[in-house]
Amino acid sequence: MEKFIKLTDTAVPLPIENIDTDQIIPARFLKSTDKQGFGDNVFRDWRYDHEGNENKDFVLNDDTYGGSILVAGDNFGCGSSREHAAWAIAGYGFKVVISSFFADIFKGNALNNGILPIQVTPEYLKELLQIIKEKPETKLTIDLENQVLSSPAGELEFEIDPYKKVCMINGYDDIDFLISKKDKIEAFERERSF
Amino acid sequence: MAGKTLFDKVWDAHVVDTVPNGPQVLYIDKHLIHEVTSPQAFSELEERGIPVARPDQIVATADHNTPTIDQHLPVRDLLSRNQLKQLTENCEKHGITLYGLGHKYNGIVHVMAPELGITQPGMTMVCGDSHTSTHGAFGTIAFGIGTSQVAQVFASQCLLLTKPKSLRVNVNGKLKPNVLPKDVILYVISQIGTNAGTGYFCEYAGNVFEEMSMEGRMTVCNMSIEMGARGGMIAPDQTTFDYVKGREFAPEGAEWDKKLEYLKTLPTDADAVFDKEYSFDASQIEPMVTYGTNPGMGIKVTGTIPDKDDVNLEKALAYMNFKKGESLIDKPINYVFIGSCTNSRIEDFRIAANFVKGKQKAANVNAWLVPGSQQVAKQLVEEGLDKVFTEAGFALRQPGCSACLAMNDDKIPEGEYCVSTSNRNFEGRQGQGARTILASPLMAAATAVAGKITDITKQLN
């Protein structure tokens, strides 16, 4: 997993609520057996029409906006557990998603793929979306070590599980940690009554 | 000290270790896998040279990406065929039991595991599928995981997790006739919204759930994720024990008796306190339909679409081509789907068949019936329900996830409405541009016969 320490970049606004993982990556693209190429189809049915032409009014097709930070509406990533959604977000080039609320499974999947989900207050989100809309060149800074998001909407301390923070900063994942617990796991198996 | 919840008791019995100020290592009893969310996890292990830790605690099925006709022929779609081939190869290589296409135990993972007794009360179960919450109907901690977590369970039979908060949904009182478990859960979600359960594990309590069959409880728990909860549970009771006992992989004899004693200690203590609690009056619930693009956008079939200023509502209605304030009754419907891990069990087909018997499907309707498993398909024939359906003009297909997520060819065409017994009405879920209306198997059967949405309460009275 890639390390994440600090990032300063512009952001892409997507002020839609309840963006489910079927919108992030529709099921018909889940037939692949590797993790590559999902970025090409992120938000596929919003980005392209049925003939494969770009929908000009969708934000990813609007050159005004760009950057590796996605700022999205409330309850981002709800629905299916497909990690393909996280691979699609990362594959497109996003490293951070900011929203006022994240669905549980997506949040975990994001962290397991080096994408930082940052939860902000609904008021902060609203202001941030407005600022980006008016000034697309606005830069945001994310300092994971200090857990601070800085933007013209203000400095905001965000929360992250301390263990996950260490993983993100060092590029570790859970597999190595769990394997290191082998003895305890085997002891549990021996001693449990049910 | 306050008492423990059902969830606390099962969770605490599976904690292997606790990271100071961090997550816990939770032991997983059963890991279910399927073709879509497992290949990258197998690759991850291979790249790192890690073996599968407990292959005998993993069960595989092919369901998401499988055709529902001509399953005896090679799968036509090359990508799908390759994905299924990889599952077979991976299972062979790692010694994992696979119930592949055509096997007598094959079926949707959340239908076949309970009916075979793989799902047992008090267990922890995971699967790379968000509807793993279904198994909570047995008093099991069951939840969906991402592919990275599938790899973690492969490698260690454990997961690193932070214990979620506790939520209880109480529904007490008397349900009206023909209000089904699907209506109950659609009603609850319409009341509390699609993210009310995020960060929580839910317990369903009250006489309504106590009186439900296991099939009904599975329908309810299945949709826990649609209110954001990672899982939902119902306390195991005599109904649970009677269902599990004697099934293919259920414990037998003295082992079962010993386990039973333990299982009886699992229900939530009277003095346990939940972080959040909702209570509903069963008599207020009516047959439900959804009008929008998330499962929380539901109304009783006799109701009208909310009339309020809300951009999300407007976006949803633009997609569905519905108007604020209108009723859905008499809307022509050309597609009906009875199937999915929510409603494809024998009881669902009995209910539909009971309504359909002696009637004919409307000429405009394509009605697809997709049983959840080979076992359900077999039972349909044994009970003569297949004849009831085919005589009424319904198309009975072979088991799989089918039009619930439309990964295979079972897609609803653009712009068409489908009254569906599945769990998600997201944009494009059943095919690009398809418009999904979630409902119970009874509503779906009635729609197929009428060719339009009907006020079922009136018809049945």
pLDDT by residue (tens digit) across B338-396? 999 999 999 999 999 999 999 999 999 999 999 999 999 999 999 999 999 999 999 99
Q: Which of A168, A131, A128 is nearest to A149 (CA)?
A: A128
A103 touches chain B (CB under 8 A): yes
Q: Which residues of A touch B225 (CB under 8 A)?
A: 79, 105
Best residue in A21, A31, A74, A102 to probe B by mutation, most B CBs within 10 Å?
A31
Q: How many residues does chain A have?
A: 194
* Rounded CA separation A37/A87 (Å): 8
- With 90 as the cut, is the pLDDT of residue B459 above it? no
Q: Give yes or no for A178 touching B (CB within 8 A).
A: yes
Residue B83, min C-alpha distance to chain A (Å): 6
pLDDT of residue B332: 98
Each residue's pLDDT tens digit, B218-268: 999 999 999 999 999 999 999 999 999 999 999 999 999 999 999 999 999
The residue type found at B353 is A
Asked if B122 lies within 8 A of A192 by C-beta distance, the reply is no
Q: Kindly report the nearest CA distance between residue A135 and chain B, in angstroms.
A: 23
CA atoms of B160 and B362, how far apart (whole Å): 52
Average pLDDT score over residue span A65-74: 98
User: What confidence score (pLDDT) does residue B356 get?
Assistant: 97
CB contacts under 8 A, A 49-68 vs B, are: 50
pTM over 0.90: yes
Interchain contact A121–B (C-beta under 8 A): no
pLDDT digits (tens, 9 = 90+) for A163-194: 999 999 999 989 999 999 999 999 999 998 77
Give the chain B residue whose CA is nearest to the CA of A76: B195
- For residue A181, list chain B residues with Cβ-Cβ distance below 8 A: 16-17, 25, 156, 158
Contact at 8 Å (CB) between A159 and A119? yes
Q: Please tell me which of the candidates B82, B144, B156 has its beta carbon nearest to residue A181.
A: B156
Q: Is the pLDDT of residue A32 over 60?
A: yes
* CB B184 within 8 Å of CB B222: no
Pick among A38, A51, A111, A178 to test the B interface (most B CBs inside 10 A): A178
In this prediction, residue B315 carries a pLDDT of 96
Alpha helices in B392-453 (DSSP H): 441-450
Q: How many A/B residue pairs have CB atoms within 8 Å?
A: 178
Pairwise CB contact (< 8 Å): B294 & A50? no
Rounded average pLDDT over B164-183: 97
Q: Which band of pLDDT confidence, cut at 50, 70 and 90, is reported for residue A1?
A: confident
In angstroms, the CA A98 to CA A149 distance is 10
DSSP A118-149: EE--HHHHHHHHHHHHH-TT--EEEETTTTEE
The 3 state secondary structure assigned to B66-120 is CCCCCCCCCCCCHHHHHHHHHHHHHHHHHCCEEECCCCCCCECHHHHHHHCCCCC
Neighbours of A10 (CB within 10 A): 16
Query: A46: which 2 tokens?
Result: 């919003």
Question: Which of A22, A74, A181 has its CB closest to that of B16?
Answer: A181
What is the three-class DSSP state of B377?
A: helix
Instruction: Find the mean pLDDT for residues A70-91.
Output: 97
**d(CA B45, nearest CA chain A) in Å:** 9
- Which pLDDT score is estimated for B231? 97
pLDDT band, residue B458 (cuts 50/70/90): confident
Q: How far is B126 from chain A (nearest CA, A)?
A: 11
**Residue A2 confidence (pLDDT) above 90:** no
CA angle B255, B261, B267 (to 5 degrees): 130
Spatial distance between the Cα atoms of B394 and B397, rounded to a whole number of angstroms: 10
Q: So what's the ipTM on this one?
A: 0.95
Average pLDDT over residues B118-135: 98
Report the half-sphere exposure of B271 (CA within 13 A, side-chain side). 3
Chain B residues in contact with A30 (beta carbon < 8 A): 36, 64-65, 407
Q: pLDDT averaged over chain A?
A: 96
To the nearest whole Å, the CA of B147 is away from the closest chain A CA by 6
Taking only the tens place, the pLDDT of each residue in B28-82 is 999 999 999 999 999 999 999 999 999 999 999 999 999 999 999 999 999 999 9
Q: What percent of chain A has pLDDT over 90?
A: 95
The residues near B239 (Cβ < 8 Å, ≥ 6 apart) are: B210, B212, B213, B214, B217
pLDDT, position B460: 67
The rounded percent of chain A whose pLDDT value lies above 70 is 99
Q: Mean pLDDT across chain B, nearest whole number?
A: 97
Contacts of A172 in chain B (CB under 8 A): none
Residue among A32, A175, A189 minimizing CB distance to B151:
A175
Residue of A nearest to B261 (CA): A194
Q: Give backbone dihedrals phi and psi of B299, rounded to 5 degrees, phi first.
A: -140, 160
Are B420 and B337 in contact by the 8 Å Cβ rule? The answer is: yes
Q: What is the pLDDT of residue B2?
A: 86
* A1 contact B CB<8A: no
Torsion angle of alpha carbons B349, B301, B430, A89, nearest 10°?
-130
Burial of residue B376, with CB atoms counted within 10 A of its CB: 0-12 exposed, 13-18 middle, 19 or more buried: buried
